[in-house]
Each structure stands twice: as C-alpha cells, then as structure tokens.
C-alpha cells in the first residue's frame, strides 16, 4: 500500500510476525508506548477473546517502522466496531504526524470495508487531534490520566498529602502487610476482589482466565506483577501493574469493603511506588480516571499526581458513548444488583457479549 509522492512514498501495511523485532524496537524507542501497544498484549486479546486484529504500520524509505495504529474488530451487543484497543487503558497511534496520517486513512478504509457502526481510538497522550478531526472524528475528554513522577521515597513522602501519610501509617499500625505474589493460583483472590470492586462501580469484570492469560504471557518477562495487602493473613486488597519501557502502569486495583477503614489501598500503592523506584522506573501511571469517579480521583491525587486530560475519539461524530446508551445504563444497573456468585459464573459470557472498550 504505497502512498502518493506528496506523502513521500510512505509505505503502509498490516503487521505480520516478520515485523515483530522491528515493531518491538520501535516501541522501546518511543517513550509514549505502553504495554497495550505490544505484540504480547495483541496475542492476549486474540487468544482469549478471539477478536480479529488489524495492526497498521507505516515505514520510511529505509523500511524502518515510523508509525503504528493497532486496532481490533469487535462484534457484540454494542454493534460492530474497530477499537484501538479493547480491554486496555490506552491505545491509539504512535509516531510522527506524517507517518500517522496515512494510518488514520487506512483504518477508515477498513471501517468501510467491514461495514462497522463506529470507530473508537483511545489516544494518550492527547495527540493527533487535528488528524482525527480532519477524518471526521469526535473528541471526548471525560477522563484523566494521573501520573506520579518517581523519585526517592523520602522526598516523595514529603510531597504526598498529609491525610495520605496518616492513612499509610494507620495501615502499618494495624499490621497490614504487602506482598508480591509469585504463583498463578493466587490470582483467584485477586479476581474475587476485582468482582467486588467492579460491582461497586457498576462495570464489567473480565473472567479469571483472562488474568491467567495475562500472567502466563507477561510474568516471565517481568511485564506484570501483582501486589496484595494482607490483614491477619487474609488478602484484603490487591493491585496488578504493568512495568514496561521505563514506566509502570497501575492496571487494576481492588479491595474488600469491610476493611477499607484499615487503609490497605494507601499502603499498597505506596509500596508499589517504592518498588517501582527501586527497579529504576521513572513514572508510575495510575491509569484512566473518569470525571465521575471523584473518590478515585481524590485518592490518586493524594500521591502528588500530575493530572492530564485523556481523550477518546469516536466516528461518526454523532456516536453515543457506549456507557451512555440505554444498553450501557442497563448493564451498569444489573452489575450493581447481581450477587457476586452469579457475576462470577457468567463473567465469561458477559465479557464477550458486552465488551465496551
């Protein structure tokens, strides 16, 4: 797929396994890349959900990869769409504008070919707005990315809020202990807490097998870790993180309702900060926070975060956000009302039929 001379013969093609090393090198040389752009994550989504991937890459005259735009084709209760990237905090394009623009054109051509209802691109940081707008996409900014710049713990300790320091001290006083799990079987308790936390928020939870797939694919390479908070030898909170390319993404966090007064989440995140700094990472990305989640936003902000607006782009421009559709609202109500044991049993069915993004 060679483009015209005015685009300097930039070559656009679909990713194939022969590109794997060059693709990985491109990501590692781009600080804006994250674990969700990787081929390992692509393989996790493909193997667990059987979604069809369409990863576009653009090359310069020397055949070097200079731009990428990963996407998946989904067909479920919310219709047919191209999504960059489902089941991921972030997605979107990487590269210079001139190498990204032809990728945007190609995803629109694919959208027409597959007769999709819409396109979703989760672009962080907010870049390429002019390219997406030119293509006819609507920009929605209803989330923050909250980032901790890692530094010596004794320095950062003085920068976090006083109430947060007191909460961390309280957890220590009550002998809450933080451990890093090393066995896949320990994921079952993590998943149970994920179900409990998502019930509070009214959002769907991937099945336990999804997290086991993540563990099998990423743990040996050091790209996933799970930390747990224990009280009287019982796990009362946990967090799954993705260390990759000089930064750590705080991917999932959950806790029991009845032990929140012990402040396990504060101590847990503080220990993750200490671990990340010790391992040489420069940023801890606390993930996407909806404007509606004021309590979550306040909690993350207490760690002296940089709060950066984060955009989703939709096509066509009259697309209603999935969570704002009638079906999305009904799903939220049902999840909040369903007992945990039932949610656990049907999570495999729900996650494929109702994957939002």
Domain ranges of the chain: 11-136, 145-309
Could you confirm whether domain 145-309 is CATH 3.40.630.30?
yes
Q: List pLDDT tens digits, range 91-128.
A: 999 999 999 999 999 999 999 999 999 999 999 878 99
Q: Which residues contact 83 (CB under 8 A, 6 or more apart)?
A: 71, 72, 74, 91, 119, 120, 357
pLDDT category, 303, cuts 50, 70, 90?
very high
Number of H helices, E strands in the chain: 12, 13
Tell me what the mean pLDDT of segment 222-242 comes to: 98
Distance between CA atoms of 161 and 52, rounded to whole angstroms?
A: 45
- 93 vs 205, higher pLDDT: 93
Asked if 71 and 55 count as a contact pair (C-beta separation under 8 A), the reply is yes
> Between β-strands 247-255 and 283-290, what pairing exists: parallel, antiparallel or unpaired?
parallel
* Arithmetic mean of pLDDT over the chain: 92
Fold category of 11-136 in CATH: Aminopeptidase (3.40.630)
- 27 vs 351, higher pLDDT: 27
pTM: 0.92
Domains 11-136 and 145-309 share a fold: yes
Count of CA atoms in the C-beta half-sphere (13 A) of 176? 29
Q: Which helix (H) or strand (E) holds 29?
A: none
Asked if 119 and 82 count as a contact pair (C-beta separation under 8 A), the reply is yes
Q: Where do the H-state alpha helices sit in the chain?
A: 20-28, 39-49, 97-114, 129-134, 153-159, 162-173, 187-201, 208-218, 264-278, 294-301, 326-337, 340-353
Tell me what the mean pLDDT of segment 310-336 comes to: 81
């Amino acid at each position: 797929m060679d483009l015209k001379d005015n685009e300097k013969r930039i070559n656009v093609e679909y990713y194939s396994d022969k590109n794997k090393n060059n693709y990985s090198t491109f990501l590692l040389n781009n600080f804006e890349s994250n674990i969700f752009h990787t081929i390992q994550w692509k393989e996790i989504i493909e193997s667990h959900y059987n979604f069809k991937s369409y990863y576009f890459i653009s090359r310069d005259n020397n055949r070097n990869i200079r731009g990428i735009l990963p996407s998946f084709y989904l067909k479920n209760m919310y219709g047919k769409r191209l999504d960059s990237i489902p089941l991921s905090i972030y997605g979107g394009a990487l590269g210079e504008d001139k190498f990204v623009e032809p990728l945007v054109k190609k995803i629109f051509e694919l959208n027409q070919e597959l007769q999709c209802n819409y396109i979703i691109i989760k672009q962080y940081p907010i870049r390429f707005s002019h390219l997406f707008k030119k293509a006819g996409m609507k920009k929605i900014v209803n989330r923050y990315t909250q980032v901790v710049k890692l530094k010596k713990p004794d320095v950062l300790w003085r920068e976090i809020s006083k109430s947060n320091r007191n909460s961390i001290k309280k957890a220590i006083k009550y002998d809450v202990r933080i451990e890093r799990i090393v066995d896949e079987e320990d994921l079952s308790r993590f998943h149970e807490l994920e179900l409990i936390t998502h019930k509070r928020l009214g959002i769907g939870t991937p099945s336990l097998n999804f997290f086991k797939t993540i563990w099998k694919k990423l743990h040996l390479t050091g790209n996933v870790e799970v930390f747990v908070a224990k009280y009287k030898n019982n796990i009362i909170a946990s967090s799954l993180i993705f260390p990759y390319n000089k930064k750590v993404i705080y991917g999932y966090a959950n806790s029991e309702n009845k032990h929140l007064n012990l402040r396990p989440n504060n101590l847990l995140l503080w220990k993750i900060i200490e671990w990340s700094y010790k391992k040489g990472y420069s940023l801890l990305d606390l993930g996407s926070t909806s404007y509606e989640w004021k309590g979550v936003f306040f909690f993350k902000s207490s760690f002296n975060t940089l709060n950066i607006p984060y955009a989703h782009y939709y096509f066509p421009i009259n697309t209603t956000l999935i969570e704002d559709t009638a079906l999305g609202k009904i799903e939220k109500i049902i999840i909040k009302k369903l007992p945990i044991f039932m949610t656990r049993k049907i999570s495999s069915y729900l996650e494929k039929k109702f994957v939002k993004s």
